[in-house]
A = this chain, B = another copy of it.
Amino acid sequence: MKGMIVLINVYISNQIPQEIRADLPSTYITYYTSSDISEDLLDTVEIAWGLDKNVISMIESPESKLKWIQSFSAGVDYFPIQQIRERNIILTNTSGIHATAIANTVLLYALFFTRNLKHAIQSQSNQEWDSIPHFDKLQTLRGKRWLIFGTGHIGREIARLAKATDGETIGVNTTGHPADNFDLTVPITEFSDYLTNVDIILNILPLTTETRHLFDDKFFDKLTKLYLFINVGRGPSVDEKALEHALDSGTVQHAALDVFETEPLSSSSPLWNYDQVLITPHESAESNELLPAVRDVFVNNLDAYLGDGVPDTDIVNTKEGY
């Protein structure tokens, strides 16, 4: 290859915010966007950043030179994984950079309920000092037992904070392999034994055929009086009707949900109106640090790709789907 200069065409999809498109490495690289790429150039693109209809066209075109897609997100369930796999396209995600914000959000959810903050906020809005001691309603996170579905980057960071607040952590993953910050890990085939003995159940699993509606009537029926159910993974992992039944019957006492079967959550969903449910609009991973970090992942992977044709981090196993 010595002496040869290879020009690489990179396509930046509409998914990538303007703020992080400037000042990208330019040696040997030509960047295109949806507003300046012509039909006939689509097949010449070797690297795509994010997903939009042009990237879908590239994945589908038999003549495409596409070799690598860097996703904007951690979850890649909305990509045509099967086609990407068949075409031998490398897919990388950004799963490493969401851990801090999601774990912060999860800690907030847990403290929001244990400290009964909703009551204080309502009292404040009525300019009302509710001075009755709430010894029975206020709790701490000390001694809380967490059952965390997913022991990747994000699950481990959540478990770290759960331990820091003196909780106990049980992790659920495919094989039950050990993971940092978990007191115990169990394979996904065996979690049922732990359901009645924990305070907080949290989902951060990727969405796959195995995890779709993992949290269904059958699951919730095994609980007795779960203190808190949290979903910061993917919405379709939870059967929302089943969760509503569990909230109605009291087998789930509180829920904090950032993701939903259909997003945006329909204004007619009963979930909005449960007093014991906290809803956030799929923002648990967002922060002022996120966009620079998304950019860093791409640029670092690009450096590595230019060196030896393989991005550096977060390569998705397209067979497993995460």
Contact = CB atoms under 8 A, between A and B. Distances in A.
Interface of A: 17, 100-101, 104-105, 107-108, 111-112, 114-115, 117-118, 120-121, 123-124, 127-131, 133-142, 160-161, 164-166, 263-265, 267, 269, 272-273, 278-283, 286-291
B111 A107 contact: yes
A112 B117 contact: yes
A260 B166 CA distance: 30
Contacts of A129: 263-265, 267, 281
Given A112-B112, A124-B272, 11 more contacts: A104-B142, A107-B107, A107-B111, A127-B267, A127-B273, A134-B283, A136-B288, A138-B288, A140-B289, A161-B164, A161-B165
A164 to B, nearest CB: 4
A142 B100 contact: yes
A284 to B, nearest CB: 8
A281 B131 contact: yes
Nearest to A284: B115
B139 A287 contact: yes
A165 B104 contact: yes
A281 B120 contact: yes
